[in-house]
Amino acid sequence: MILERLYCAPVPAAWGFLLAMAEQIDLLIDARWVIPVEPDVVLENHAVVVSNGRVRAILPSIDAHRSFVAKRQVSLRNHMLIPGLVNIHTHAAMTLMRGMADDLPLMRWLSEHIWPAEKLHLGREFVYDGTKLACAEMLKGGTTFFNDMYFFPDAAAQAVLDAGMRAAIGMVVFDSVTPYASDCDDYLNKGLAARDAYGSNPALSFFFAPHAPYTVSDKSFSKILTYAQELDLPIHIHLNETQDEVRSSLEQHHMSPVSRLSRLGLLGPNLIAVHMVHASHEDIGILAREGCHVAHCPTSNLKLASGFAPVSEMMDAGINVGLGTDGAASNNRSDMFAEMRLAALLAKGQTRKAEALPAHRAIEMATLNGARALGMDKDIGSLVPGKFADMVAMEMTGSELSPVYDPLSHLVYCAGREHVSHVWVGGEIRVDEGNFVSLDEAALITKAARWKERIASA
């Protein structure tokens, strides 16, 4: 019994009535600090109660032990417990191309290295192995949900399920031929077939993922919009990522990429615009008016020399902004703690205001804002009764973390993925004391090495 373990003594007979009245639950986690994100508070010496994969209650530990009897109990007396991180822009399978073509601008990186490699190696095996490797990296770093844009969505979906996490799977669309599909209709048909096969699984959701305005025609956008409206599915697209993209749109369409999508009717609460590095005041106003969301990928934007997204201006305009890592081929880490810290620091540097993007907003961007962008904030993004018990424990005992004045600030500016000790998805343990419970990390590393040999020798 929990009470026996807690007080290190047999339960007195007089307590029998209290135990009989206590609610039976699956998991009870005591933590030094709980950061639920919503509301914006730090709860000290609290417990998270889990039943049927969802948060049942959050209350002071002493009250939790009086009210609940758990099948499993975890005591984290020197830890911080936070919601699972939500990464709203990835190309997970591209983890197999990590570091393959560094220190290049976006279009050279794509046209001279990434697209040629994909032409030679892209297939279901590549996507499955690369996505599963990415899942391992993300899980170990506290990410429990990611939003993916890549080819062979059926293979990606299976990798996510086998890894034991959650994801939104993009049904990617190009107008060009790839080893995956030949034209817009082929991309859409294959994406929808994957959705039909996997869409009923509660760990997965699907969305349309036209790659970018410069790779998708007006005609194809029209088809995507029709399907998205009929099926009530989100649209996820790279937008205003580089100066060249904006310049080309002005020359070809006589309007910015944002204005073009607005004219086509694609903008709205179901659209996630990725990057938005080169956003004019007019573009920001349009996105805000239409209720669009933005995926901010600060590390990738810097590494590809794309620039600095005006995040503070977008958020001040009322746009919901979440955080993404982009693919590991352009980051080169799927590390949401790094994105939180960098996003906060860049905002301060850009605005020259130390109070810009404070720690609590950075945490929201990495959790609840991402869930909102995906339309999933009723289920994930914060530790609230009724939501999935997707949780991350951070051990806060190291010399590099001492002393702790403000746990919330520490989470953004001091702690990192190396401090993740436990990860739960739906109340099921995935990482325990820093080690995977079911994933074979050695096997994943071996497969990655084999892919590196194949790609490097081509």
3-class secondary-structure state, position 289? helix
- The mean pLDDT of 272-284, rounded to a whole number, is 97
Alpha-carbon separation of residue 338 from 119, 154, 399, 417 (angstroms): 31, 29, 20, 8
Q: What is the pLDDT of residue 20?
A: 52
- Tell me the sheet residues that pair with 296: 323
Pick the CATH number of 85-357 from 3.40.50.300, 3.20.20.140, 3.50.50.60, 3.40.640.10: 3.20.20.140
- The mean pLDDT of 287-296, rounded to a whole number, is 98
- The mean pLDDT of 94-100, rounded to a whole number, is 95
pTM of the model: 0.94
Phi and psi for 277 in degrees, rounded to 5? Answer: -70, -45
- pLDDT of 6 over the 80 cut: no
Q: What is the pLDDT of residues 196-226, one digit of tens each?
A: 999 999 999 999 999 999 999 999 999 999 9
- The mean pLDDT of 34-38, rounded to a whole number, is 98
Could you tell me which residues come within 8 angstroms of residue 402 by beta carbon, excluding any fewer than 6 positions away? none
DSSP letter string, 370-422:
HHHHTT-TTTSSS--TTSB--EEEEE--SGGG-S-S-HHHHHHHT--GGGEEE
- pLDDT of 388 over the 90 cut: yes
Cβ 79 vs Cβ 421: under 8 Å: yes
Instruction: State the average pLDDT for the chain.
Output: 94
Alpha-carbon separation of residue 433 from 79, 191, 208, 345, 439 (angstroms): 12, 38, 37, 30, 14
- The mean pLDDT of 337-350, rounded to a whole number, is 98
Whether the ω angle into residue 332 lies within 30 degrees of 0, i.e. cis, is yes
Cβ 249 vs Cβ 260: under 8 Å: yes
Confidence band, pLDDT 50/70/90 cuts, at residue 105? confident
DSSP letter string, 110-122:
IIIIIHHHHHHH-
Q: What is the pLDDT of residues 112-130, one digit of tens each?
A: 999 999 999 999 999 999 9
- For the chain, domain boundaries: 2-83+383-426, 85-357
- Return the amino acid letter for 367: T
Q: What is the pLDDT of residue 291?
A: 98
- pLDDT of 331 over the 80 cut: yes
Q: What is the pLDDT of residues 428-444, one digit of tens each?
A: 999 999 999 999 999 99
Q: What is the pLDDT of residue 107?
A: 87
Query: In a 10 Å sphere around its CB, with 0-12 CB exposed, 13-18 middle and 19+ buried, how is residue 437 labelled?
Result: middle
CATH topology of domain 2-83+383-426: Urease, subunit C; domain 1 (2.30.40)
Q: What is the pLDDT of residues 224-269, one digit of tens each?
A: 999 999 999 999 999 999 999 999 999 999 999 999 999 999 999 9
CA distance 89 to 236: 9
Confidence band, pLDDT 50/70/90 cuts, at residue 22? confident
Q: What is the pLDDT of residue 4?
A: 29
- pLDDT of 19 over the 90 cut: no
